[in-house]
Amino acid sequence: MRGIFYRSDTRDPDSGADLFTNGFDKRDANFAAPQLRDLSGVGPLIAPDVDPHSAVCFTRDFLAAPIFPVSDLNCPSWVYVLDLDVDDVLNTQATQFNLMQASGRNTGGNGAGALWPMFGQERCCDAIANTDIVGALRVSRAFLGGFAQGGSFVCSVYRANPNYAGGQAASVRAVMESYIDGSSHNTPTQAQGLVQSTQT
């Protein structure tokens, strides 16, 4: 079974990286598989996130994609639409929730101290072939503060990938171009993400 996912990247599809031709690879090939790391400062895997060097990260939520990358929130980005085999995708969000429950910590209430990574609905895999990239949508981003507080984005242009090998090109183009309407679209916030998601 396949599914549609989204990865935001500041690299233009026509840049030197030539992502429509080369696809996405993890930063460090020495990692055999995605690795979780602790981000809470209170103990291993209490608020786990994927080490970005060990995998290619993306999201199942189009509106969450423009939150990333977070290193420069003032920089425009491209949201790449991915058509992936779900058997190759790690549901990071469900893993975060399950590890929280196994730790015995409270997953109810605000839970933000431990569950804060969940609002990005992160997924990841080892690599993304260029033939699995449907296209890319240019977004200009604006944030209310830090990325966890949310923000908004405006879409300006969609580029189809001529190397895409699947059957979703027309439907994805129609959906992505529907966002190019001059309006501002809101990203989710940390407070909205404290839910379990078992859907890949």
Q: Domain coordinates of the chain in residue numbers?
A: 2-193
pLDDT tens digits, one per residue of 57-95: 999 999 999 998 888 888 999 999 999 999 999 888 777
Q: Residue 45: what pLDDT?
A: 53
The two structure tokens encoding residue 11: 């690299």
Whether the pLDDT of residue 49 is over 70: the answer is: yes
Fold of 2-193: Heat-Labile Enterotoxin; Chain A (3.90.210)
Res. 19: pLDDT tops 90: yes
CB count in 10 Å sphere of residue 95: 18
Global pTM exceeds 0.75: yes
Average pLDDT, the chain: 84
pLDDT at res. 159: 97
- Higher pLDDT pick, 121 / 104: 121
pLDDT score of 110: 43
Using DSSP, state whether 190 is helix, strand or coil.
Answer: helix
| Confidence at residue 44, expressed as pLDDT on a 0 to 100 scale | 54
Report yes or no: 177 and 159 within 8 Å, Cβ to Cβ.
no
| pLDDT value at residue 175 | 98
Model confidence band, residue 122 (pLDDT cutoffs 50, 70, 90): confident
Closest Cα to residue 22, out of 31, 34, 32, 9?
9
pLDDT at residue 193, as a whole number: 55
Highest mean pLDDT: which of 63-72, 95-104, 153-162? 153-162
134-154 pLDDT, tens digit each: 999 999 999 877 777 788 999
> What pLDDT is stored for residue 41 in this prediction?
57
For the ranges 9-18, 52-61, 64-73, 186-195, which has the lowest average pLDDT? 186-195
Q: Can you tell me the mean pLDDT for 93-106? A: 67
| Cα–Cα distance for residue pair 165/2, rounded to 1 Å | 13
